[in-house]
Amino acid sequence: MSLTVETTQSHDIDPMELVESCLTEAGWDFQRDEEDATLQCIATTKWGDMGGMFASRREPPALHFSLTLDVKPTQARRTQITELVMMANERLWLGHFDYWADEGVILYRHALPMLDRIEPEPGEVRAVLAAGTDAVNMFVPAFNFVIWAGKSPQEALEAALFETAGEA
């Protein structure tokens, strides 16, 4: 069995057009950069607007999505942030968080493989948008608890995931 990737995709169809359609339907603002095949967008979350990006690759064929969290990681909390990223990722079904310590950035990422097809299904793009915003809504408080309140990753996660029952 060969693991060589052979693509027979038509380069006439642009998967970013489908992404634009899904973003319009979702009410997200976006701007496309034709030169580097990327699309910048704004995701509205419970914690404010987050910058997003879609990028299309031909080799290997994939559609990549990322959301940059509006948090300010500190070098002093690097170990705790890294541990929280691992703990948060254990709870995600789609995508994952990355911590780029040198750039001081935490982001949510997900890629759709595009082998043997021209573009993703609209439901896949909508699922990625929903998974990204759900992950941000759920875990931004935990990252802020670690960064600004000095909480341990476990304490921050427990506080962020605490759910009340019933009505007051």
Per-residue pLDDT of the chain (168 residues; tens, 9 = 90+): 555 545 444 556 678 899 999 999 999 999 998 777 899 999 999 999 999 999 988 888 899 999 999 999 888 999 999 999 999 999 999 999 999 988 999 999 999 999 988 889 999 999 999 999 999 999 999 999 999 999 999 999 999 887 645 565
Give the pLDDT score at 161.
87
Residue among 128, 107, 96 nearest 22 (CA):
128
pTM across the whole model: 0.85
Q: Which two three-digit tokens encode residue 83?
A: 């541990």
Helix (H) or strand (E) holding 116: none
Q: What are the angstrom distances between the C-alpha of 100 and each of 41, 127, 132, 154?
A: 20, 25, 18, 21
At 22 the three-state DSSP class reads helix
Give the pLDDT score at 96.
97
